[in-house]
Chain A
Amino acid sequence: MNRTNLLNELWEYQNKHGYISKRAITQIAKSLKVSILDIEGVISFYHFFHQKPTGKFIIYLNNSIISEFKGFQYIKAAFEKETGCTFNEYDENPLFSLFETSCIGLSDQEPAALINFYPFTNLTVKKVKTIIKQLKEDEKLATISSSFISKIQYTPSEEKTMLFRNYIEGNSLKKIRKYSASEILENISKSGLTGRGGAFFSTAQKWKYCKESKSDKKIIICNADEGEPGTFKDKALLNNYPGLIIEGMIISAYVTGAKEGFIYLRAEYKYLLKKLEKTLEKFVDKGFLGDHICGIPNFNFYIKIQLGAGAYICGEEKALIESLEGKRGEPRLQKYFPTQNGYLGYSTIVNNVETFAKASRVIELGTTYISKIGTQKSKGTKLLSISGDVAKPGIYEIEWGTTIRELLKLCEALSPYYIQISGPSGECINSTEFDRKICEEDIACGGSIMIFNRSRDILQIQKNFMNFFKIESCGVCTPCRAGNQILYEKIKKIERGLSTEKDLEEIKQWANIIKLSSRCGLGKTSPNSLVMAIDKFKDYFNLKTSPITENQYVEFDMENAIQEYDDVINNL
C-alpha cells in the first residue's frame, strides 16, 4: 500500500465497520511501515473517521450559525429524544450515532443533517421523528433522503452569464487544438481571471509558475473542499456542470504539461461522487481524458477523485496537499508556493472549482465576451451562495460590481441588519454599507453571503464563528490554536455581562497579534469578523459592555463562582 492511498484505505474500514479498529490500524501501520500513532494521528485529525464503534446510521447535524438560527437546538434535542443517544458521544447504540459537524453546504435548507452522507434538509421536530421511525423500520436512505440541490435563483441576462448557460461537452476543449499552450495561457491572462477560492490570486500567474517549473511531474488539483460556512456554490457547479470543471482542469494540464490531476471532494458532498466518476468515465470514452487527448499527440492527462474526511483546514491548498499525501492536514510552511513544492514535491496547481469552470468558459467564449462583463478590475461574473434571513436563499450568478442593495432586493432580504461576506473568515457589514459593490475593488466575495435581520444576536454569531475556528484550526501553531480559544473566552465574558470597553480594546490588540503571527490563512483571518463587528455595531457592543470607570473593583460573577459549591452541598 502507498501512503497516498491512506485516506481511501481508512474510508474503506470506516464504511465497512462503522469505525477503524485498533486491529485495522495496526495492520495499516504495518503495511506502511509506520508507527501506529502515526496512523492514529491521521484518523483523529478528520472528524468523519471514528476509532470507536458507531451505530448503523451516523447522523451529522450541521451546527453552523444559519442552522443555529433556524432551530438547531430543537432539532438536536429531537434527534436525541428519538434515538436515545447523546450528541458527540460513542454510546454503543447499534442503530444510531449522533455528531455535530461544521457547515455541510446546505445553508439554503437549514437545519440540515447528513445521515450516512445522505442529505436531510429543512428539518423540523416532526420530520426528525418520522425519519428516525423510518430508519428503525429499515427504509432505504436513498428513498427517504432530501434533495441536496440548491435553487439557482438568479443569473444575469444571457449575454452576461458565464457559468449558468448552455453547456456542450468538449466545446472549450475543441478550441485548444488550434492554440499553443502559451497562447491559451495568454488568453487566461487577458481575461484577468483570478482565484475564486477566496484569495483572488491571478490564475494565469499561477499556471505560468507551474508551466515554467522544472519539476519532473506536474499536478493539477481541483479544490472541491468548499468548507467556508455559508458556501455552497461549488456544490451547484459540481452538480450542474461537472464537465465544465473537468475541462478547465484539462486546459490547465495542456498549458502546464501536467499528466496527473485530482479532484479533492469534501466528504460532505459524497452524494456527488457517482456523478463525477461517471463524467470522468464519459470524458475518457470521448477521448477528452487519457492519452493523446483530442487527438493531440502526447497530451496525456488523468484525473482521480480523492474524498476528504471532514476537516475545514483541508480547503487550504497547502493543507489539502498534505491530506492528499495521506497525512494530517496541517498546512505546510508559507515558504514555498505549491507551484514550487506541491504534491509529493512536484509543481502543483491548486484551483477552486469555480476557477476551473471559468477558465473553461474563457477559452470557450473568448476574452472579448468576458471583458464586457463586470467592472474595471473584476471581469465577468461571480457565483454566490446566499442564505440567512431571505425569502430566496440559493445560488446567484451576479455580474461583478453588483451592489449589496441590489443583491438584497434580488434575494428578498427581510429587514437586513448584519451581513457576513465570504463566511466567518471574511468580513461583516452594516446597513450604512449597502451601496458598496461586490468586486475586487470594493468588497471581494469568495462566495458565501449570510444575511441576518435585526432579531439576530451579533454575539451569538461571533461565538458560533469563533467556536468554528477553535475546532477547525489544524492546531499546529500557537497563535491560532491558543489565540482563537482565548478570543472565544472573551466572547463568553461579554455574553455574561462582565466586560468593559477595555475588553473590546483587548480583543482588537489580541486579534492583531494572532493575525500577524499565525502560520496560514485560517489564523490570519479568524479574528477579522469579530473586530469588524465591534467597530461596525458600536451601539450593540456599547449595550453589552460597561464603560471604563475609576472603579477599583473588577466585575465578578459571584453567582457562577459559588454555584458548584452550592450544588454539592445541596445534594449532600
Chain B
Amino acid sequence: MERISFTIDGRICASDKGLNLIEAAKQNGIFIPTLCHFKHQNPIGSCRICTVKLNGKAIAGCTLNVQEGMNIEVNTPILLDTRKAILEMMFVEGNHFCPSCEKSGDCQMQNLGYETGIRSARFPHLFVERFIDAKAKRIVINKNRCIKCKRCFEEVTTNDGYKVFSFINKGNKTIVSVDYEQEEKLTESQAQYAMKICPTGAILVKGKSLSKPFGDRIFDQGIPGKTIPFLKTNKNNNSTQKKLVATTSLAGCFGCHMSMLDIDLGLLDLIELVEFNKSPFTDIKKFTKRCDIGIIEGGCSNTHNFEVLRAFRENCDILVSVGECAIWGGLPALRNTISLEECLNEAYKNSLSSEQDETIIPNHEEIPKIFNKVYANHEIVKIDYHIPGCPPNSNHIWNVVKNILFEEEYAIPYPEFKYD
C-alpha cells in the first residue's frame, strides 16, 4: 500500500493512500465523531456529524478518501459548532426522553451529546408526534428516537437478501419503518444485531430492552473508583455575607430538589456559604429578600408555573435551570405531542379509576390553567445557566452553583455530564 501524507488542522498526518478519512484520522490520533458511519467501504453520509473541510470546502468526512497533499480541517471553531448544532437538531427533531429510554447510557447519540458538551439545544424542540411500532415479531421501533442514519438499512438484511428496514415518505415526514414479513425471518441474533448497530434507542428487541442495567452503564461509573466530590470553597473570598438562594419546583418531580439535599455532610459546608430564601427547603412562600441566585426545577406547564417563574426572574440576579424538565420540558413534555384535550380526557375521564360520568376535568377560577404544552423556562424568562441531568448529581449541582456565585474555576468532568 502506498503511504501518503496530508494535513489535519495543520498537523502533518500519514496513512495508506485512499483510506477513509475517519479511519485515517483515527490512526493519527484524531477523533472525528460520526453516527451513520459504519463500514467505510460504502459510506452513507446522512447524519452529517462528521462534516469537515477539504481544501476549504465542506464535505462529510466519512465520504472522503485521503490523498496526497489534502488539506483537511476538522476541529476549527466553526466545524466544532456545526457538529454540535447538527446533534442539537437531532435532539429537537425527535423526541428524546433519555430518562425513559432503554438505550440510555449506551447510546451513541447521547454519548456525542456529552462529548460535544450540549447543555441545552439552541433550537426549539419540534415535538412532532411519532409512534412506536411494536407489531413486528421481535423488533420494536420507537420512531421518536430514529435519527434517520440508514445504518439499519445497509446492515440488516435477511439471509435471502431482503431489506428489513427502509424509509417511508419524504421531507419532514420521513420516518423509518420495518417490513413485518422480512422481520419475521430474522434470527434472534440478527435482531439483536439490529438493536446494537442502531446508534440510538430506535430499534429495540422485545424482552431485551435494557441493554445494560442502570448503574452498570459506562457513564454510571464516573471516573472509576471515584464519586463526584463536593468541592470545598476557598474561604479567602472575602465576602462575609452569605449568598441568598431561592429554589422552586415547577412542572418537575421534585427529583432535582431531592438531589440537591443529597449532599449529605456537604450541607453543613453549604449553609455556611448560603442562606435559603423562598424555597421548599425553608417553606418560605414569598420572596422576603432579593436573591443572588434562583434555582429552578421543572418547566412551565400552567399559568401558576408561569407566574412563579416570572417572580423568580424579578427577584433573583441569576437564574439557573436545573434538570431536563427545566431545560426543555423533560418527561412532562411527553404530553407535548398529544393534544391537551386528549391528555385531559385520558387523565380525568377515561382513566381506570374514573367512573363513567362521575368525574370531570377540574376547572375553577382558582385552579391554574394548563398550557397547550410544557414550555422550557428559557421560552418565558431569560435563563442564565443550564445544568443538565435527570436529576443532576447533587455535588455537581452545588459545585456549579458555587462556581457561579463565587466565580471559582470549575471544569465539568466528562462523567458528570448526564441527560438521565
Chain B residue at minimum C-beta to C-beta distance from A476? B46
* Chain B: minimal CB distance from A556 (Å): 5
The answer to whether A565 and B340 touch across the interface, beta carbons within 8 angstroms, is yes
- Known contacts: A482-B89, A486-B123, A510-B123. The answer to whether A475 contacts B341 by CB under 8 A is no
User: B86 on the interface (CB 8 Å rule)?
Assistant: yes
Number of chain B residues whose Cβ lies closer than 8 Å to a Cβ of chain A: 69
* Chain B: minimal CB distance from A7 (Å): 15
User: A368 on the interface (CB 8 Å rule)?
Assistant: no
When each residue 164-181 of chain A gets 1 if its CB lies under 8 Å from chain B and 0 otherwise, what string results? Answer: 000000000000000000
- Known contacts: A37-B179, A486-B89. The answer to whether A473 contacts B48 by CB under 8 A is no
The answer to whether A478 and B147 touch across the interface, beta carbons within 8 angstroms, is yes
Q: Which of these binds chain A: B57-65, B215-223, B246-254, B395-403?
A: B57-65
- Known contacts: A517-B48, A554-B380. The answer to whether A475 contacts B90 by CB under 8 A is no
User: B111 on the interface (CB 8 Å rule)?
Assistant: no
> 8 Å CB contacts to A: which residues of B133-156?
147-148, 150
CA distance in complex: A490, B124 (Å): 9
User: B310 on the interface (CB 8 Å rule)?
Assistant: yes
CA distance in complex: A492, B144 (Å): 23
User: A564 on the interface (CB 8 Å rule)?
Assistant: yes
B residues in contact with A566, CB < 8 Å: 369
User: A484 on the interface (CB 8 Å rule)?
Assistant: yes
Cβ contact of B63, chosen from A41, A311, A335, A471, cutoff 8 A: A335
The answer to whether B177 and A554 touch across the interface, beta carbons within 8 angstroms, is no
User: A143 on the interface (CB 8 Å rule)?
Assistant: no
Most buried by B among A44, A313, A334: A44
Number of chain A residues whose Cβ lies closer than 8 Å to a Cβ of chain B: 60
Number of A-B contacts (CB under 8 A): 198
- Known contacts: A35-B182, A506-B122. The answer to whether A479 contacts B89 by CB under 8 A is yes
When each residue 379-420 of chain B gets 1 if its CB lies under 8 Å from chain A and 0 otherwise, what string results? Answer: 111100000000000000000000000000000000000000
A residues in contact with B45, CB < 8 Å: 333-335, 477, 519
CA distance in complex: A329, B48 (Å): 19
B residues in contact with A484, CB < 8 Å: 172
CA distance in complex: A166, B360 (Å): 79
- Known contacts: A37-B177, A518-B48, A554-B381. The answer to whether A44 contacts B168 by CB under 8 A is yes
User: A380 on the interface (CB 8 Å rule)?
Assistant: no
CA distance in complex: A567, B363 (Å): 12
User: B181 on the interface (CB 8 Å rule)?
Assistant: yes
When each residue 317-360 of chain B gets 1 if its CB lies under 8 Å from chain A and 0 otherwise, what string results? Answer: 00000000000000000000001110010000000000000001
User: A36 on the interface (CB 8 Å rule)?
Assistant: yes
A residues in contact with B177, CB < 8 Å: 37, 40-41
B residues in contact with A33, CB < 8 Å: 161-162
The answer to whether A475 and B379 touch across the interface, beta carbons within 8 angstroms, is no
User: A543 on the interface (CB 8 Å rule)?
Assistant: no
The answer to whether B380 and A553 touch across the interface, beta carbons within 8 angstroms, is yes
Chain A residue at minimum C-beta to C-beta distance from B51? A517
A residues in contact with B182, CB < 8 Å: 35, 37
- Known contacts: A37-B182, A333-B43, A565-B340. The answer to whether A486 contacts B124 by CB under 8 A is yes
Cβ contact of A41, chosen from B48, B167, B344, cutoff 8 A: B167
A residues in contact with B344, CB < 8 Å: 568
CA distance in complex: A249, B170 (Å): 31
Cβ contact of B167, chosen from A328, A470, A493, A567, cutoff 8 A: A328
When each residue 67-110 of chain B gets 1 if its CB lies under 8 Å from chain A and 0 otherwise, what string results? Answer: 00000000000100110011001101100000000000000000
Q: Which of these binds chain A: B5-13, B188-196, B278-286, B370-378?
A: B370-378
A-B contact pairs, 25 of them (CB 8 A): A34-B162, A35-B162, A37-B179, A41-B167, A334-B45, A475-B170, A475-B171, A476-B46, A478-B147, A478-B148, A481-B171, A481-B172, A481-B174, A483-B89, A493-B124, A513-B82, A517-B51, A518-B48, A519-B45, A553-B380, A554-B381, A556-B375, A562-B370, A565-B371, A569-B361
Q: Which 4 A-B pairs have the closest CB atoms?
A: A475-B174, A37-B179, A482-B93, A482-B89
Extra contacts besides A477-B46, A517-B82 (4): CB < 8 Å: A313-B170, A334-B45, A519-B48, A566-B369
Q: Which residues of A contact B (CB under 8 A)?
A: 33-38, 40-41, 44-45, 311, 313, 328-329, 333-335, 470-479, 481-486, 489-490, 493, 506, 510, 513, 516-519, 551-554, 556, 558, 560-569, 572
